[in-house]
Amino acid sequence: MSQSATAEQTGQMSHREVMEALTGLLLAMFVAMLSSTVVSNALPAIVNDLHGNQTGYTWVVVATLLTMTATTPIWGKLADLMSKKLLVQSALVIYSAGSLIAAFAPSMGVLIGARAVQGLGVGGLTALVQVVIASMVSPRERGRYSGYIGAVFATATVSGPLLGGLIVDSPLGWRGCFFVGLPIAALAFVVLQKTLHLPTIKREVSIDYVGATLIMAGVSLILVWVSLAGTDFDWISGISALMVGGGVLLIAAALYVEARVAKEPVIPLHLFKDRTIALATLASVMVGVAMFGATVYLSQYFQLARGMSPTEAGLMSIAMVGGLLVSSTLTGRIITNTGYWKRFLVGGMLLVIVGMTLLSTIDAETPLPVVGGFMLLVGLGLGATMQNLVLAVQNTADPRDLGAASSVVAFFRSMGGSIGVSALGAVLAHQVSGSVKGGIAQLIAGGRLTPGQISELKHSTGDIPDLDALPGPVRSVYEAAMGDATGHLFMIAVPFVVAAFVCVLFIKETPLRTNTGPAEAAAPEATGELEVEEAKAR
C-alpha cells in the first residue's frame, strides 16, 4: 500500500511495480491487436451469413480503421490532461461495448456501426499504452521493455488468424470472434486497477472539441474516398472532387483552429518545429503506407495464389512476425545498454527496403521458403524501426506534450496504413480483374472451356472466388493473376520505404534521457525550470 502511494506521489516505480503494471498494459494492447487479426479469417462467413456484399466486406474493416485513426490524437491529448489509468480503462469499456454489439449484430449495417465503436476503443488503447509506458519508464530504460511489446504484437498477429479460423469452424461460429477478446479486456481492467499507480497532474482541462471534430471529419472523409473510389465511383469524378475538396477544406480549417484558436490543441503544431519529431512523423506515414498497404495482402496471396487454407496462411506469417520479435527484442536491449538508437533505425529501414524489393519479384510460382526468407527480412527491419521511431519522438518531446507527441506518430502511421490498404487494394482488384478477363478470353479462344463453364463465368458476381469451385484452367489463371498483382503491390510500396529511409537519415540523434516524463512534468514551477531540464538532459 505504501509503495502504491509513493508511486502515485512521485511517478517513480520500481522494476517489480513496472512489470506488474506492464502485464495489464500488454493485455490491453493484445486486445487492441486481436480485434483486427481474429476477424480476418471470419469475414467471408460473416458476409455470407448477414447477406452482405463486397462493399460490406470492405467496410467491416474500414469502419474500425476510420474511428481508430481519427481518434488516436484525441486520446493522446486527453492523456496530458486526465488520469491515464482512467483513460485506458475507459477505452477497454468502449471496446467491450462495441464487441458485444458486433457479436449480436443482426445485419451488416449494425455490424459496421459496432466495428466503428470498437475502433474508438482500439484507438485509445493504441495511443495510451505507449504513453503510459513512457510515463513509467525513462527513455534509456524503455528498450528493456520494448521486447515485451514486440512479443505481444507477434502473438496477436500469429494467433489471431489461427484462432479466428478455429472459432468460425466451432459451434460458436463467427460471432464467437467478437466474444474472445472480452475476458482478456476484463482481466486487463482489473490488473490495471490493482497495479497501475501514476500521479494525476492536476491541470485546467480545455478540450479542443472544434479541432477534434474537424480533424475527425476531414480525415474520415478522405479515408472514405480512398476506400470507395474505383469501386462505387471513379477516382476522377465529381464525387471524388467533392470528397477530396471537402476533406482538404476540413483539414485546413482544423489546422487554423489548432494554430490560432485552440487553447489546448489536439495536435500541437509547435511539435513539428522540432526536426526529429517532424521527420519521424513523416517516416511513420511512409512506413504505414508500405507496411499495412502491402503486407496486409500477403494472407490473400497465400490463399488465392497458392491455394493455402486460412490456417496455413496464418502459419506463413510467422516468418515476418518472428523476425520482428527477434529484432525488436535485441535492439531494445542494446539501446538500453548504449543509449544510442539511430543506427538501428537506419539499419532497419535498409532491411525493409531490401525485403520489399525482393518481395516485389514474387509470383504464383515463387518457392515458399524463398517468400518466407523475404518476409523475414522485412520483419527484422520493421522490428528495429517501428518502436524506435516512437522512442525518438518521446525522447525529444517536452514532457508536457508527451501524450500528444506519442499519439501523433501513431496517428500518422495509422493514417498512412489506412490509405495504403485502401489504395493498394484498389490497385490489386483492378489488376487481378484485368488479368483474369484477359486470361479467360484466351481460354475461350483456345476452346479450353465448355459452354456450361462459360455461361457460369458470365453470371459471376465478381466477388473473391472459391478456388475449389473453379474449373482447373480458370483457377490457374486466377492464381497467376493474384501472384503477379501481389508482387506489383510491393513494387509500388518500395518508393515509400525509400522516402522513410531518407527521413531517418536526417534525424538528429540525441542520447536517451534517464528520467521519466511525469517526473519532469511534475518538477517545481520555479524560475529557470527549462534550464534545469536542459542541464539534466546534458
The angle that helices 108-136 and 402-445 make with each other, rounded to 10 degrees, is 140
Q: For residue 318, give the C-alpha cell.
A: 510467422
Specify the pLDDT at position 230.
72
Q: Say if residue 113 is exposed, middle or buried (CB neighbours under 10 Å; 0-12, 13-18, 19+).
A: middle
Q: For residue 488, give the C-alpha cell.
A: 506489383
Specify the pLDDT at position 53.
64
Specify the pLDDT at position 477.
85
Specify the pLDDT at position 108.
86
From CA 301, how far away is CA 368, in angstroms rounded? 11
DSSP 273: G
Handedness of CA 25, 30, 35, 36 (dihedral sign): positive
Specify the pLDDT at position 537.
36
Strand partners, 229: 233
CA neighbor of 270 nearest in space, from 439, 397, 409, 436: 397
Strand partners, 166: none
Question: In the block, which residue shows the cell 492536476?
Answer: 202
Mark the ranges of the chain whose per-residue pLDDT is less than 70: 1-15, 53-55, 57-58, 139-147, 150, 154, 157-158, 199-206, 227, 293-295, 310, 452-468, 513-538
Specify the pLDDT at position 31.
85
Q: What is the identity of the amino acid at 431? A: Q
Specify the pLDDT at position 359.
93
Specify the pLDDT at position 115.
93
Strands (E) across 128-238 are located at none
From CA 149, how far away is CA 171, in angstroms rounded? 33
